[in-house]
Every structure is written in C-alpha cells, then in structure tokens.
Amino acid sequence: MCLAVPGKVVSVIEEEGLNFRRGKVDFGGVLKEVCLAYTPEASVGDYVLVHVGFSLSVVDEAEAQKIFETLREMEQLEELEGP
Amino acid sequence: MKELNLTCPVPRPADDVIVLAHGGGGKLTNQLIERVFLPAFGCAPLEARHDGAVLSVSGLRLAFTTDSYVVRPLVFPGGTIGDLAVNGTVNDLAMCGARPLYLSAGFILEEGLPMQMLRGIVESMRAAAERAGVQLVTGDTKVVDKGKGDGVFINSAGIGAVETSLEIGPAAVRAGDAVIVSGDLGAHGVAILSVREGLEFEAPIQSDTAPLWAPVEALLEAGIEVHCLRDLTRGGLASAVNEIATAGHLGIQITESAVPVREPVRGACEILGLDPLYVANEGRFVAFVPERDADRTVDILRGFSVSKDATSIGRAVEAHSGVVTLESRIGGHRVLDMLSGEQLPRIC
Amino acid sequence: MKFLDEYRDSATATQLARLIRETVHRPWTLMEVCGGQTHTIVKSGLMDLLPSEITLVHGPGCPVCVTPVELIDKSIAIAALPGTIFCSFGDMLRVPGSSKSLLDVKASGADVRMVYSPLDAVKLARANPSREVVFFAVGFETTAPANAMAVWQAEREGIGNFSILVAHVLVPPAMEAILASPNCRIHAFLAAGHVCTVMGWEEYEPISRRWHVPIVVTGFEPLDLLEGVQMAVAQLEQGRAEVENQYRRAVRREGNRPAQERIAEVFEVAPRKWRGIGEIPSSGLRLRERYRAFDAGERFPVGGGAVEESSECIAGLVLQGLKKPFECPAFGTRCTPESPLGAPMVSSEGACAAYYLYGRRSHEGIESDLPSTAPSR
C-alpha cells in the first residue's frame, strides 16, 4: 500500500491559509500541483514524499545518506583488515 | 481471540462480453484472437502472428497490413490521431521488411465533429505520408450519430514491397540472438496520459510517433541477417517480446538496467505507479539479430534520429520457452509477463 | 531521480545482501505488511539476494484486497444511479464484488472515473453542481489524511453534492489479529513505511512488547527492504524484540501531527470487516457525526444484502500469510488475473497477482535456467 514518491518543491502558494497551502513539485522533470498543508515546514528546494497529491513528509537528506556512509565505512574497514 | 473467518467472492466470467482490456494489446487481446478470430479465419499468414501478412502475388512478395486508430485525446503533444494512422500502418509494413508504398484510410466520424478538427487531422496525415514516402490512394467516410463514436476513428490498411529474401518473423528467431531496442520507451503513452491526467512537464513529453522504414531499410541493405522485427505499441515492450517468445517457441531474457527510459517519462510513471515496460510507444521497435551482428546493428540504427538511442537489451535463449524473464537493477530475476488487461494507475 | 535511484543501486544491494547472510544463522519468517513492499520484492526479484533461511510472507497490506465485498457491491450500486459521477483510484476498478466490478458497470454506461487524488473528486463536484459526486475512500492510514482533507474542504466550501464511501482500514489491529491467530508463524514484521510517515511508530511498541516480535518500520525501495530485513534478522538473532526505524529519511516516531489531527477531526475508529479475514474490532475509520452528511453509505441507501461466498478461493489464508498463492488449488488455473476468483489476484499489489506475474518461474522450473545471482558478485 501507499505509493508515495519523492519530489522537489519548486514553488509554494500560501495566500489562502495553511489548509490550502499548495505548491508545484518536480518528479524528475514532471511537475504536479501538490497539497502541502501537512508539511507546513516544507519550502522551495526541499524534497517531499507525495501520496495521492498530498505531501506527507519532508525527506531528511542527512538520514538518507547514512546507510551509504555506514556501508562505505564497513567496506573500508574490511579492506584494512585484509583477507 | 476468535477464529478468523475466511471469505471469498464468487467467480466472475471474463469472456461473455467485450471489455476495454480486450483492446489493450495484452493477454485478453491475444485470447480474443485465439478464441474468436483464428478459429474462423485461420490460415498460414494469420497463424504466423506477425504485424503484417507477407503474400506471394504473381511472383511478387507483398506485405499487407491493417490497423485501426481510436486514441483519445485526438490531439496530443507530438501529434494527432492522423500521425498514428499513417505511421502505425507504415511501421507494420516495415516490420515485415517491406518498403511501405500505399495506404488506405477509412474514416468513421462522429456527428458534431468540428470541421476544423478534421482538417487538422487530415493535414497531419498528409505531412506524415510525405515524410514516410507513401501515398494515400483510397479511402472511405462514414458518419455515425452523436454519441456513437469518439470524434474520429480511423482504419488504415497498407501495402508494401518485400524486396529482401529474408523471412522476417518470430519463427526465424534463434537462441543466442540479441534483442535490440531502437530507442527510449514510454514517451507516447505518457504524452497521452499527460493530457488525460493533467500532468505538466518542464519540457513537454512528445509522443514518439514516427515512421521506421528508413532504419529498417538500412539494416537490410547492410546485409544484417534480421530475424525478427516488431514495433512496440499498446502493451509496450513487454507485450511485444512476449508475443515473439510465444510465437517463436523460445525464451527471452531482458536486462532492466539496459532498457532506456528518459527521466521525465520515469517520473510520470513513478507517480502514477506505471511500469515503463508496459507503456505504449508509437515510434520504437525491437530487432532480433544474430549475436555477431548486434554491434553493427546498433551502429547503423544510431545513425538515424528516430533510433539514435538504440541499444542491446537482452537475448533469446533456449530455456523457458515462451517465457520472458527480466534481470532487475539489483540483480534479482522475475518473469516479465504480458499484461492481463489495462495497466491502471495505482495508489497502492 | 533523487531518493529513488540511490535506493536501487546494485552494488549497495549486494553489500546489504552479504551483510544479511553474515547475520543469519537460523531460519526466520518475516512478514512485510504493505502491498507496495510486496510489489517491490517481487518486481526486483529481491528473494534471489536473500539466503534460503529467510522466508518472506506477504501480509494483508493491500487495502484493495481487504475491502469487503459488500462495500464493492455498494460502490457499484451507487455508480449505477443515474446522475452520479463515481470516482475511484485505479486500484479499485477491477476488483470483483459478488458479480461485477466497477469497470464492468462502467462498460454498461455508468459514469465511473479514475482520479489521482481525492481533491480531484472535490473539483469535479464543484464543476458539476447538478450531479452527485461520490469518491471511494479506500486505503490505510496513509490515504486517510488526503480523504480527511477532501471532506474538510467540501464542508468549509459547502459543496453539498460531494460524498465519500468510506473503506479505511488500520494496520495495527490487523497485525494483532494475525499474531493472535493460533497458526501464526511470523517471527518479525516489516511495518509499512508510508503508513508510519503519518502515524509514527508509537502504536507498534505495545504490540512488539506484548507478542515479543521485532517490528522494523521499512521503506519501499529495494535497499530499504534489504536493510529492513537485515535489522529484523539482527534483532531475532540477538533475541531482541523492539520497534526500530529503517525508513529514517521519511518517518519520525511521532509521525505527522497535522495529518493525525485532521484525521481525528474528520474520522473516528470503528469496527471493520476485512475481506478474507472477517471483522476486526476498532480496525477501520468512519466519518464523525459532524461530517456524517458526507457519508455516501448513508446518503445512498442502495446495495447491501447478504453475499454468497465461494469456498474455492483461499484469499483468507493467503492474506494472513498462512499459505502461498501457489498452494491454492485454483491458482493460475481457475483463478488468473483475467478471471479472478478473489481480490488478491486482481490487485497489482495482491500477493496472488504478484506471484502470478513475477513469481511463477520457480514453479515452472524456470529458476534453474536463469543465470545465477552468485554471492561473489
């Protein structure tokens, strides 16, 4: 369940109040208007997870990197330890 | 905690009425052909299950094909139903290795269709025919009551001259043959959807509708031993290779990371939950050639703008006859089956 | 595409697979709850990368599969009413009710439209004031904020010709029902990552404690699933049973508060019948009193009535993860995606459809013919 796709916020419209906060989100070159009411902290340049036209979460870029850093460190350790 | 109840729905037959999926280019379409059309009309050219029929008439080899065009919307980024009507039929002929020569066009027009719309479609057909080097030599017009048609339906038949002595079709495919795709996938289907679903693109995705005889002709003239050609239409790459695997009694293995898909097309497919391997194309084809000819085939194809992104994506194999498998990006494997019905956008 | 492509990287997948192999010493059975996770697993052939000690079982994470037959019949009855525009996500259109699907009734002339978002249905209602626009509000907690907002906006704007047919289901009660079943053989769960972006993971902590099962909140890309499996197996091997978060880039423990508030304002918890499982108390959502006017179930007193069930489809056992689809006697013969007996075969997320489309090879002897995904790669 729950196809939610990450996209980059490229514009935000706030005039009509928080509940109608919306913006354009870029998914690899496809722009879609998304309701941003549930991510009041999302601003232009942030990545959000979008499900049925609503952003549900702002992607934490630092956390997103961690798995790759951890695995890289593991690999380096192994190389140092030798066969 | 009480025992969980097990319930299940009553079975529902799928073959008492025609449903939209019968036109989807996938399993149901093929079932319809097998269960209704072949038993009535069966003959060798039909049984060959190729895009067109290659016939011998007084010592000449001719290719003959027909196709109907029912696309909605009638006009979309990159073309109109008219472009599809010309290019689609031209391409069916090209896939038989035939030089496309003459087309017919039968129009079914809905009462109330603006004349301006019809003129626009006809003009795009004129331009497409000129580009493809074919002449529209005969036609027909019918008008149906308002509400009985989608504006315009076009049927187009085509005749071409088979100048090669090669027998091009699924039966000629051999284990070890390379599978080469002529370019990136999914543009046409996404262009259509972008109108229907209101998708906006930074740079609008254009339908890839285009005539394909020029690159095919180049392959034949270069002496490439072309075994099979198939243009990718409804049902996408997956349907086309499945049909060939079944008709050719071979297995086919595709490498997912080798299949070209442009980023905006990927983005559209991601948000709608669609798989690009099943999305419609109108100006792309696959070629099955001997492994030794694979590099040369790709080089020749890349010399044409319509096939500039041609690349090798897999091979035919002896194993798992009739089944297509896919090696995923992460190195796992799965069966790449034909679609059963329409591929529907999903949220799940 | 950023935050997608990196999570499909082959070299990293191989590394994670190796890590899993080093962690595993005993056979373990894990259940991934969400249909979207099932989809990724079979689509990417993830099983090929896992050691044979690990069995992945697919849970009832497909809201399409678990929507009760009565509700589907009701949706069809409403769609067939003259003047109605019935809107639904694509997933629901093919699922058979007791005799038809929404696509069938569309073929007979009903105005059934596929929408991408519930707000599209509200837009349709605004643009067509003389028509009744009904939206099929199916989904887990992930979709509830969107559906809540649609009703909230319709109420604020006084759009009286809009209503929703509610079929929301909640994950934690379903997990507990599975754990409580005497036949349960699940050792650990991969919880649905997107459900948790909304709800957080606090409500899984009591479940983990009560049943002593590890629960790892997991994302949807191949690397997410591999990491989730690795974390679950590490817990099992160490004898731990906690809730951990693999999907750190998207999920926080408290979840999305504004979304939860909107859900709580519009909906309340209610009992819900799950197709193939039966009624589970407090496992669904219904509209609160204040918004009851938007309930299509009450607005349109059509459909309903007792439903004949066939005993051939073992959807219930499959949805609980007790049987694999290919163990069903009808699988691939009387029950196929073209002529489904049950919902798991219809939905692209359903376990049966997933197996039919992607998993057949191991049962048609194809597996041995494939190039091997050898550990040394």
Chain B hits for C377, CB-CB cut-off 8 Å, are 331
Both C293 and C342 in a single domain?
A: no
Looking at the structure, do residues C283 and C328 belong to the same domain, yes or no?
A: no
Any chain A CB within 8 A of the CB of C16?
yes
Q: How many Å apart are CA B341 and CA C93, to the nearest integer? A: 12
- Considering chain B, tell me which residue range(s) the CATH 3.30.1330.10 domain(s) occupy: 51-162
Cis peptide before B77 (omega within 30 of 0): no
Q: Which domain holds residue C266?
A: 64-170+255-299
Name the amino acid, one letter, at B133: G
Is A2–C223 a contact, with Cβ atoms under 8 angstroms apart?
no
Superfamily in which the B51-162 domain is placed by CATH: PurM-like, N-terminal domain (3.30.1330.10)
Tokens representing C372 are 């091997």
Helix (H) or strand (E) holding C125: helix C118-127
Neighbours of C375 (CB within 10 A): 11
Task: Say if residue C259 is in the same domain as residue C331.
Answer: no
Res C368: pLDDT:
47
Q: How is residue B337 annotated by DSSP?
A: P
Mapped onto helix, strand or coil, the DSSP state of residue C58 is strand
CA distance A13 to A28: 21
Measured between alpha carbons, how far is residue C143 from residues B309, C211, C283 in Å?
39, 28, 15
Nearest to C159 by CA among C150, C167, C168: C150
CATH number of the domain at A63, please.
Answer: 2.30.30.140
Least confident of B77-91, B107-121, B328-342, C195-209: B328-342
pLDDT level of residue A35 (50, 70, 90 thresholds): very high
Residues C163 and C265 reside in one and the same domain: yes
CB C111 within 8 A of CB C102: no
Q: Is C337 in the same domain as C284?
A: no
* pLDDT grade for B22, boundaries at 50, 70 and 90: confident
Contact indicator for C349, C32 with CB cutoff of 8 Å: no
Lowest mean pLDDT among B146-155, B163-172, C135-144, C358-367: C358-367
Q: Distances in Å between the alpha carbon of C260 and those of A38, A45, C76, C141, C184?
A: 9, 25, 30, 9, 31
Interval B203-258: pLDDT, tens? 788 999 999 999 999 999 999 999 999 999 888 999 999 999 999 999 999 999 99
State yes or no: pLDDT of B285 exceeds 50: yes
**What's the mean pLDDT when you consider all of chain A?**
90
In a shared domain, residues C158 and C72: yes
Phi then psi for residue B213, to 5 deg, are -70, -40
**DSSP track, A16-78:** T-GGG-EEEEEETTEEEEEE-TT-TT--TT-EEEEETTEEEEE--HHHHHHHHHHHHHHHHHH
Does B13 or C148 have the greater pLDDT score?
C148
Cβ atoms of B307 and B298 within 8 Å: the answer is: no
Give the model's pLDDT for residue C338. 58
Adjacency order of strands within the sheet including C162-168? C112-114, C84-88, C132-139, C162-168
Task: Note the maximum CA span of chain A.
Answer: 63
Helix (H) or strand (E) holding C225: helix C222-238
**Chain C CB contacts of B7 below 8 Å:** 69, 275-276, 278, 309, 315-316
Q: Which two tokens stand for residue C128?
A: 């067509």
Q: Which domain holds residue A63?
A: 5-81
For residues C128 and C161, the answer to whether their CB atoms sit within 8 Å is yes
Q: Give per-residue pLDDT as tens, B64-73.
A: 999 999 888 8
- Return the DSSP state at C295: B
d(CA B263, CA B260): 10
Calculate helix-pair angle for B81-94, B213-221, nearest 10 degrees.
20
What is the C-alpha to C-alpha distance for residues A47 and A30, in angstroms, rounded to an integer?
Answer: 14
Q: Do the Cβ atoms of B133 and B103 come closer than 8 Å?
A: no
Beta bridge partners of B125: none
Name which of C42, C46, C43 is nearest C20 in CA terms: C46
- Residue C34, in any domain of the structure: no
Residues of chain B with CATH 3.90.650.10: 170-335
Q: Cα B126 from chain centroid?
A: 22
Q: Which two tokens stand for residue C5?
A: 């492509």
The phi and psi torsions of C167 (rounded to 5 degrees) equal -135, 35
Contact flag C63-A1 (C-beta cutoff 8 Å): yes
Give the tokens for residue C104. 């069938």
Distance from CA of C181 to the nearest CA of B (A): 7
Tokens of B247: 């008709």
Q: Which residue has the higher pLDDT, A68 or C315?
A: A68
pLDDT of residue C377: 27
Number of domains in chain C: 2
Q: Which of C168, C71, C332, C283 is nearest to B7 (CA)?
A: C71
Q: What's residue C331's pLDDT?
A: 67
| CA B135/CA B137 separation, integer angstroms | 6
Q: Is residue C107 part of a domain?
A: yes
Q: Which 1-20 residues of chain C touch chain B by CB within 8 A?
A: 1, 4, 8-10, 13-14
Q: Phi, psi (5° rounding) for residue B27?
A: -55, -45
Percent of chain B's residues with pLDDT above 70: 94
Residue C363, pLDDT score = 44
Distances (CA, A) of A47 to A17, A64, B78, C92, C257: 21, 11, 31, 29, 19
Interface of A with C in 13-42 (CB under 8 A): 19-20, 27-28, 35, 37-40
Q: In the beta sheet, which residues pair with residue A71?
A: none
Residue C246's pLDDT is 97
CA dist C51 and B196 (Å) reads 45
Pairwise CB contact (< 8 Å): C249 & A1: no
Structure-token match 């494997």, residue found: B333
Superfamily of domain B170-335, CATH level 4: PurM-like C-terminal domain (3.90.650.10)
Could you state, in chain order, the average pLDDT of each consecutive group of 10 residues for chain C (377 residues)? 92 95 95 87 91 88 78 93 92 81 86 91 95 94 96 95 95 90 88 96 96 97 97 97 97 96 97 81 94 95 66 61 67 62 54 57 48 37
Q: How sure is the predictor about B1, in pLDDT bands with cuts at 50, 70 and 90?
A: very low
> Between C44, C94, C143, which is nearest B347 by CB?
C143
Cβ neighbours of residue C5 under 8 Å, at least 6 residues apart? Answer: none
Q: Which of C15, C87, C169, C197 has the most A C-beta neighbours within 10 Å, making it the best mutation to test the interface with A?
A: C197
- Minimum CA–CA partner of A2 in chain B: B348
Task: Please provide the DSSP assignment of B16-67 as one string.
Answer: SS--GGGGSSSHHHHHHIIIIIHHHH--HHHHTT-SSEEEEETTEEEEEEEE
Q: Could you report the predicted ipTM of this complex, rounded to two decimals?
A: 0.92
Q: Is residue C237 part of a domain?
A: no
Mark whether C277 and C335 lie in a shared domain: no
Residue B96's pLDDT is 94
Interface check C155 vs A, CB under 8 A:
no
Mutate to test the interface with A, among B195, B271, B279, B347 (most CBs of A within 10 A): B271
How many domains does chain A divide into? 1
Q: Would you state the structure tokens that stand for residue A58, as one six-digit string?
A: 């702002």
- Asked if the model's pLDDT at residue B9 lies above 60, the reply is no
| Half-sphere exposure (Cβ direction) of B280: Cα atoms closer than 13 Å | 22
Locate tokens 């507990």: which residue? C176
Close Cβ partners of B144 (under 8 Å, ≥ 6 residues apart) = B108, B109, B110, B111
User: For B212, what's the count of Cα atoms within 13 Å in the CB-facing half-sphere?
Assistant: 34
- Any chain A CB within 8 A of the CB of C362? no
Residue A65 contacts residue A58 (beta carbons within 8 Å):
no
Look at B6 and C278 and tell me if their CB atoms are within 8 Å.
yes
C 286-345 residues inside an 8 A Cβ radius of A: none
CA atoms within 13 A on the CB side of C221: 25
Is the CB of residue A64 less than 8 Å from the CB of residue A46? Answer: no
Q: What pLDDT is stored for residue A77 in this prediction?
A: 85
Provide the pLDDT for residue A21.
92
Nearest to B48 by CA among B172, B157, B179: B172
Q: Which of B175-179, B329-333, C53-57 holds the top average pLDDT?
A: B175-179
Chain A residue with CA closest to B263: the answer is: A28
Same domain, C289 and C338: no
Query: Which tokens hold the place of C286?
Result: 């219904």
Q: How far apart are CA A64 and CA A42, in angstroms?
A: 17
CB A45 within 8 A of CB A9: yes
Nearest to A2 among C34, C120, C227 (CB): C34
Question: What average pLDDT does this structure show over B171-180?
Answer: 97
**What residues does C58 pair with on adjacent strands?**
C32
